Structure 1
Amino acid sequence: MTGWMHHLIIAPILLPLAAAALLLFIDERQRVAKAMISLASTLLLVGISLILFRIETSPNDFDGVYLLGNWAAPFGIVLVLDGLSALMLLLTTLLAIAALIYSLARWHTVGAHFHTMFQLLLMGVNGAFLTGDLFNLFVFFEVMLAASYGLLLHGSGPLRVKAGMHYIAVNLAAALLFLIGVSLIYGTTGTLNMADLAARIPDIEPDRLMLMEAGAGVLGIAFLIKAGMWPLCFWLPTAYSAASAPVAGIFAILSKLGIYVILRLTMLLFGEGPSAGFGSSVLLYGGIATLIFGTIGVLASQALGRLAGFSVLVSSGTLLMVLGINDGAISSGALLYLVSSTLTISAFFMLIELVERGQDAGANVLAVTMEAYGDAEEDEQEEGDGVTMPGTMAILGTCFAACGILLSGLPPLSGFVAKFAMLSAMMGTGAIGVPPTAAVWTLIVLVILSGVAALISMTRAGIRTFWSSIEGTVPRVLVIEIVPVMFLLALTLLLTVRAEPAMQYMDTTIRTLSNPAIYIDAVRNTPVDGGQADAAGAGGEAN
């Protein structure tokens, strides 16, 4: 990566920051101008992310290190682009453009500074994916959280405000734990650069190593709260279901930010050496509990928003279990599952508002009552009196069915491909003469049961909504609202068609992560530009 393309690494941070600053100077009444600036910035982000994604990162050519201020690591701020961060950047920007276009129908006008907070959220998330040191990870994490507070409360309403207050309290506690963990790590190792930290861990004395691991454990709790691991996840379904549709759509990536950081630090700091396997049992058993809790929540949910919220927990639980098992072949399929489930859940959150637009409040509760006790006033329908489904309902029904297929992991879409890749890797150990462990068998059973639970819940909700709707009214849906949902679902179809190259990319990414020396050497040995180096050398001679 040479020339101007190398500077694109910092663009996903600077571009939304500049857009957010510009939007602050524009009056709220100029909504069209603010929307166009935000849309142009996000579209440009998509283009930049596509370019960065297409830059091949191989174990023998790791050149995605960007030194801010031209100071060598670990003394300066460093950004690192590898296969994993490029994948997460692209996923974030695709969700962002879909959520932003959806919001232009009406949601961006129901409160102040929506576009500013949206751009700051993108800046924080992108920065967290790119940063190479823990302190700046904390900075970007705080920027992301501050923007998410405002976005969750956007549109007001008592339910949204109540859920927002709980969300703020929980995430402020997570931020405090983050700061404590970072302080402990710095106090024992003297560095916060991830590559430098990984290189120093083998030489730490045993007593200081215990304190460093304690700091890493506290830091891990902060991100497990964000990832939604049980029992730290009770806030998530309520908060996500209370958010406006486009906000919930972009929030689908936030839980995956927690998964990303845990994966990055686990593979880099605790993949080998004296602390190898640190925290794996917590991830394994926590993932089992989260997956069970999410599956029960999916089955118990009557409201579609709650069902989507618990689907986030099912996704997080599955990924945490895979991280706890720490098997490369399973992790490759899990990365594909991460992408597929995030796209699906984001589309589902936005689809829910369109589906429920034609229903009265409490319609789901009334439907459950009618299922249990029947409808005494129901008239028998005469033969031949069928009702024609309007085009809007047909499109919504098709999208709803696609979400159900993806969440349950049925063929032929990417949800099935991802789960099949994981399950085949789990069972593949038996083919080479090594029987799957009890943890692997547990994951196999839970993944299958969670898919069955999603199928039952989505089928039940679909029947109530499209086949036996109490109101029988057709919701008014704008093209600008349904297109983002169809766009995200089309991406899952593309992921299905291009499953082979997608899995090859995931395999390469996991192999690179499994060899921390590649990351460490690239960051620590990246040279500064000649001008800064000459100046530093001249200063040293003068002294």
Structure 2
Amino acid sequence: MNDLLSFLNQHTPVFSILIPAFTAFILLLLGNPGSGSLAHDWRQPWRRSISCISSLLGLSTAVFYLIQASHGQIIIYNLSEWAAPFGIILVLDQLSALMLVLTYALSVPILWFASKQWDTRGRYFHAMFHFLLMGLSGAFLTGDLFNLFVFFEILLMASYVLLLHGQGKARFHLGIHYVTINLLASALFLIGLGMIYGSVGSLNMTDVARLMPLLEADQHRLAVAGGLLLFVVFGIKAAMLPVGFWLPKTYAVAATPVAAIFTIMTKVGVYAILRVNGTVFDDPVSQKILSSWLLPIGLITSLYGVIGAIGAERLRRFVGFMILSSIGTILVALSLFNTQAWSAALYYLVHSTLIAAAFYLLSGWITSQRGEFKDHFRIAPQMKQQKAVSISFFIIAMMMAGLPPFSGFLGKVFILQATAGHAWQGIIIAVVLIVSLLSIIAFTRVGFILFWRASRPEENTEQAAFRKYQALPDKAPLRNDVTIYALLTGLILYVVFASPVQQYTFKAAAQIQNNALYEATILKQDHNRETISVQPFDPENLPETKYNGESVDPNAHLIPYTISEDTLEGEHISEFKRRQILNQDSQISPDNEHDQLKPMEP
């Protein structure tokens, strides 16, 4: 057991990425016939078992990481044993651990629900689901901006396939729009990364944060412009206005379990805004520009979302607009740039993700019991499970509108408390209260149409309406209602344990604002406690390997500080290089001349 724990600790946190990655590859190797044959395919029980077991294992790993991170320790994993900023690293802190637990806590019940019926409506559902989890986990754990782009692309490619799951003209049509928008965002992402790397000379988040104040004026402006371009990209992912119009229609056509898991997708954009624009680009210029734009954008997004919900004609689009409104509320909290506000944003983020997923699942339940009326806001006969559905809707409405004593109410209270002393305090409070009031009006309208004004079912056995009504299912789709109850129970427990959760989110918010802690933990120092880095970028600073000749390297003494002992003793360090390391270690000049990286001699 000690060896197992030692192994887990040694490779924390890469398992959260490897578990879904290997699961997806195994599921691909199992093969997948056409969707019409999946229900009778002998491999389908194996797919479901492997998929569900992997998700449970991922959830257990995430909880284990949360316990580790709760002590305030930042855990670093150097891929290929190259230290930052020269190598790509994974960073497990309190924020990333929280997002991992949220991801897997949402994926387990949704995957369990989808494994009963929905996974037979399209090919490779389980494989794509785990590729999505892999991308999400990597995005939350990476400490490198380019690696963030890579994991964004992994989760997006999986989402393209999942959006089309079950096929259909509407899904294909909006799927093209979704892919086009995200390809444009990816192109802007690369341009922004190029601007940052060209001016800073590094893409490690901690190194960029350290070097930003040291840049020349022109370089600094270019880096700030790159950071703001990334903000636009993350805004597209988060679906904030004016680049978030795509969400309500796109999510409305997705299959029920796909729409439910997609509620975590927008939070990746919110997370990236917080992680990158909030902490990496924390210089006064970047923060001033961002705060001046983020607050009005958040307020407008919140208002637009709830107004769009009032005018929605279908339940699924209604849910999408309410998600937009909640995103705006989170952005308002992020724009305040203080620990208490960020803590409130994280608390509300978890609530908004889980309640939106439950609402999409409820939409699937309602659609199944309304027959030809589906989720359109039109008067229809009463549903066969009218009481169960209406009670579930009423609870979800109170939670999502932010009524006491539920988590939505607490989250908004935390946000309003954080506005104390802010110049826009009155406006923020007014908008939050107006949005809550309009949300109540929007939910009242929906409940009035779906339940209060529902007509009595046709009782004349000779009428076609009677036969249509009798053909409707008597119960919710398999596991649909149970999954909703599980999510609602989790949200109730979220309120019960609000105090320890809020304490954790406060510590997470305080931790990510401490750039000095990340710098001391992630970046290496030489024997004079000078940070080892390459800045500004100079194309003459070329690395040397055993295959690059035996030229004198003035930087040889820095090698032990940037790679592990095992790598240092490995075959890729030539004897000539090893002698330079040993000789220069004893010849460091007192004026620290050798402590700076120098161009290699040709």
Normalised to the residue count of structure 1, the TM-score between the two structures is 0.90
Instruction: Say whether 1:33 aligns with 2:46.
Output: yes
**Corresponding residue of 1:413:** 406
1 CA distance for matches of 2:497 and 2:151?
A: 33
2 CA distance for matches of 1:94 and 1:471?
A: 39
Correspondence 1:120-519 to 2 at 5 A: 120-272=131-283, 275-362=286-373, 367=378, 392-426=385-419, 429=420, 434=421, 436-438=422-424, 440-470=425-455, 472=457, 475-519=474-518
**Corresponding residue of 2:23:** 19
2 CA distance for matches of 1:458 and 1:275?
A: 39
2 CA distance for matches of 1:169 and 1:78?
A: 30
2 CA distance for matches of 1:475 and 1:311?
A: 29
Q: Which is further off, 48-57 or 532-541?
A: 532-541
1 CA distance for matches of 2:11 and 2:485?
A: 33
Selected match of 1:530 from 557, 561, 565: 565
Give the secondary structure class of the aligned counterpart of 1:108.
Answer: helix
Contact 2:316–2:360 (8 Å) recurs in 1: yes
* 1:106 to 1:363, Cα distance in 2 relative to 1, 3 A: closer
* 1:321 to 1:270, Cα distance in 2 relative to 1, 3 A: same
Q: Which is further off, 529-538 or 499-508?
A: 529-538
**Corresponding residue of 1:52:** 65
Contact 1:354–1:475 (8 Å) recurs in 2: no
Contact 1:267–1:516 (8 Å) recurs in 2: no
Deviation at 1:2, TM superposition (A): 6.1
Higher helix proportion (structure 1 or 2): 1
* 1:364 to 1:463, Cα distance in 2 relative to 1, 3 A: same
* 1:494 to 1:533, Cα distance in 2 relative to 1, 3 A: farther
Deviation at 1:3, TM superposition (A): 4.9
Deviation at 1:5, TM superposition (A): 2.3
Amino acid at match of 1:221: V
2 CA distance for matches of 1:475 and 1:176?
A: 49
Instruction: Say whether 1:110 aligns with 2:96.
Output: no
Selected match of 1:87 from 73, 98, 103: 98
Q: Which is further off, 12-21 or 320-329?
A: 320-329
2 CA distance for matches of 1:5 and 1:326?
A: 33
- Report sequence identity in percent: 37
Contact 1:99–1:246 (8 Å) recurs in 2: yes
Deviation at 1:57, TM superposition (A): 4.0
2 CA distance for matches of 1:448 and 1:77?
A: 44
Amino acid at match of 1:437: A
Deviation at 1:297, TM superposition (A): 0.7
2 CA distance for matches of 1:425 and 1:322?
A: 8
Amino acid at match of 2:182: N
**Corresponding residue of 2:578:** 541
Contact 1:62–1:522 (8 Å) recurs in 2: no
Alignment deviations for residues 405-429 of structure 1 (CA, whole Å, 9 cap, x no partner): 1111111111111112212332xx2
Amino acid at match of 2:295: L
Q: Which is further off, 265-274 or 303-312?
A: 265-274
Deviation at 1:367, TM superposition (A): 2.9
Alignment deviations for residues 190-243 of structure 1 (CA, whole Å, 9 cap, x no partner): 111111111111111000111111111111111100111111111110001110
Deviation at 1:309, TM superposition (A): 0.3
Contact 2:334–2:345 (8 Å) recurs in 1: no
Contact 1:407–1:451 (8 Å) recurs in 2: no
Contact 1:270–1:278 (8 Å) recurs in 2: no
Deviation at 1:11, TM superposition (A): 0.7
Deviation at 1:278, TM superposition (A): 3.9
Amino acid at match of 1:541: R
* 1:75 to 1:248, Cα distance in 2 relative to 1, 3 A: same
Deviation at 1:122, TM superposition (A): 0.5
Contact 2:365–2:477 (8 Å) recurs in 1: no
Deviation at 1:275, TM superposition (A): 4.0
2 CA distance for matches of 1:274 and 1:231?
A: 23
Contact 2:368–2:477 (8 Å) recurs in 1: no
Deviation at 1:140, TM superposition (A): 0.4
Give the secondary structure class of the aligned counterpart of 2:173.
Answer: helix
Deviation at 1:537, TM superposition (A): 7.7
Amino acid at match of 2:133: L
2 CA distance for matches of 1:242 and 1:452?
A: 28
Deviation at 1:89, TM superposition (A): 0.5
Contact 1:105–1:478 (8 Å) recurs in 2: no
Gap runs ≥5 in structure 1: 371-377, 379-386
Q: Which is further off, 101-110 or 83-92?
A: 101-110
* 1:530 to 1:78, Cα distance in 2 relative to 1, 3 A: same
Contact 2:111–2:257 (8 Å) recurs in 1: yes
RMSD: 2.3
Bigger RCO of structures 1 and 2 (CA < 8 A, at least 6 apart) = 1
Give the secondary structure class of the aligned counterpart of 1:442.
Answer: helix
1 CA distance for matches of 2:277 and 2:476?
A: 45
**Corresponding residue of 1:72:** 83
Deviation at 1:56, TM superposition (A): 3.7
Contact 1:20–1:115 (8 Å) recurs in 2: yes
Normalised to the residue count of structure 2, the TM-score between the two structures is 0.81
1 CA distance for matches of 2:69 and 2:140?
A: 17
